[in-house]
Amino acid sequence: MSLLLQFFFLLLGIVDGKVEFTSSTLYDIFDFRGVGEIALPRCNFGCLIFASTLGEYQPSNDGLDPYMENLMIYDPAIGRNLSIAELANQLDSKSSQKVPLDIASEGVYSILNLNAPEDEGSDVTVWIVERSKAHEFDYELYDARSIARATSRPTGIVTIMSAARFRVSASDMGQFDSYTARLVGFDNALDNNPDKCTHACQTAIGSAFVGFEFIVNAPLISIVFSEMRLLNLTADYSYYYVHPLATPGFFSSPGYNGCGRLGTDQVHRSTQYSDKAAFTLRGAPNNYQVVFDSDLDLSDGNEIQITDDTNDKVYPINGTSAHIETIIPRTQTVIVSYKNISAPQSFILRYSAAKLVWYLLDILGSCCRTNSMRISGGINAFVGFIFNNLEAFDAHINQHDANDDDQLVRTNYWTGRSLRHRNRVHL
């Protein structure tokens, strides 16, 4: 890393960047650079240590990053030092879940950095959880670069960690299953968690599971599935800037955790994080009503721009408020962009969208489908006329869109309620 970029991180005011949760601690590469020894007080009475690196290091014969090989922890169970490089590669051969360093005995532990002070290394995430606390949860824990989870029911909280920003995807299994996702470990994944960590995405109990594709600008994500039905979950280091409107999702500031108990300076750091980005949400050829729910902590002069690209309208949001709602009535494409946003500034921007259904036509179509045997030929002909001339009706309704005069039906992914626009369709 260049001296300029190192200076940039110093300006962020997060030199001591480790993130201290109630029962766990998160470290990144900047906690190790130029530091000879890092104390691990979480391990005084036993702990689990998980590590993620960027994976195979091509210049090395054994594929291990020399910098990570020189970060050493003493493992009392085997009586020798274990490197972060080795620890990051420890996986269960059947499930592909990560296997932590399990320190059961009391003692004083630390990570020794045998690298030269000027060595930089690559991104790494080390997450240490108090052993007694970890055993209170049922969880599955994977690495984004090595997950190979078979399609099956979750056995508990599903947590994915990474040394870099990453993508998590789940397929639509044609079933009902609600979930809550938070950008933290399993120790803060549940409601009423000790660090008051907000959700990144949440669906209503009993709602249809339509799948998801999350881009995670953070080291951890934990997902709690309420009904625990069959789950086809994947993850990788891909990081896309174009996403479908059809499924709910979120965008966040770099290293975001959303925990109210933590200070704004406690964020994970990575060389891949950027203080600016632009994401596109696409729904064409369908039209969608889009709802954004934002938690912001931004400095004066900084904002997030939500642009309705279909109708050339911009919705700027800023300030330091929670649950700011922004509604775009009808669109096919939305662009979300920001710049100059880094710690201690933060944001989470959740979104859900629903394909628009013309209410009158929906009623007539339902009537036609469910009662066609009892509807007279004249009514059937009328209904048929409407469905054969949807294009003309749509053009007529478009004339009223400019006055926000159409009635829309959507499903809100956070409440599960059917909501209607306040006005009526005029035909």
More confident residue, 405 or 90: 90
Q: Tokens 């086809």 map to which residue?
A: 232
What percentage of the chain carries pLDDT values higher than 90? 71
Structure token digits, residue 145: 């670069």
Supply the pLDDT for residue 263.
86
pLDDT at residue 204 is higher than 70: yes
Residue 395's pLDDT band (cuts 50, 70, 90): very low
Distance of CA 361 to the CA centre of its chain: 36
Supply the pLDDT for residue 8.
36
> Domains (ranges, CATH) in the chain?
1-135 (2.60.120), 137-358 (2.60.120.290), 360-405 (no CATH)
Lowest-confidence range among 3-12, 54-63, 81-90, 190-199? 3-12
Write the pLDDT tens digit of every residue in 274-287.
999 999 999 999 99
Supply the pLDDT for residue 206.
86
Q: Tokens 């469905």 map to which residue?
A: 387
pLDDT at residue 299 is higher than 70: yes
Lowest-confidence range among 32-41, 77-86, 250-259, 347-356? 77-86
Supply the pLDDT for residue 407.
33
Supply the pLDDT for residue 397.
41
Residue 153's pLDDT band (cuts 50, 70, 90): very high
What average pLDDT score do residues 143-152 get?
96
Cα separation, 245 vs 212, whole angstroms: 11
How many CB atoms within 10 Å of residue 78?
9
- Helix, strand, coil share of the chain (percent; to 5): 15, 35, 50
Lowest-confidence range among 89-98, 173-182, 381-390? 381-390
The string of DSSP letters for 182-243 reads: ESS-GGG-STT-TT-BPPSEE--TT-EE--EEEEE-SSEEEEEESS---B-EEEES---SEE
Write the pLDDT tens digit of every residue in 24-34.
999 999 999 99
For residue 26, the surrounding DSSP H or E stretch is: strand 24-28
Closest CA to 24 of 133, 110, 97: 133
Lowest-confidence range among 36-50, 129-143, 259-273, 349-363? 349-363
160 close to 220: Cβ distance less than 8 angstroms: yes
More confident residue, 212 or 380: 212
Supply the pLDDT for residue 259.
97
Distance of CA 306 to the CA centre of its chain: 18
Cα separation, 37 vs 413, whole angstroms: 46
pTM of the model: 0.81
Cα separation, 313 vs 291, whole angstroms: 15
Residue 60's pLDDT band (cuts 50, 70, 90): low
Residue 7's pLDDT band (cuts 50, 70, 90): very low
Average pLDDT of the chain is 83
Write the pLDDT tens digit of every residue in 335-386.
999 999 999 999 999 999 999 975 334 444 444 444 433 444 444 444 444 4
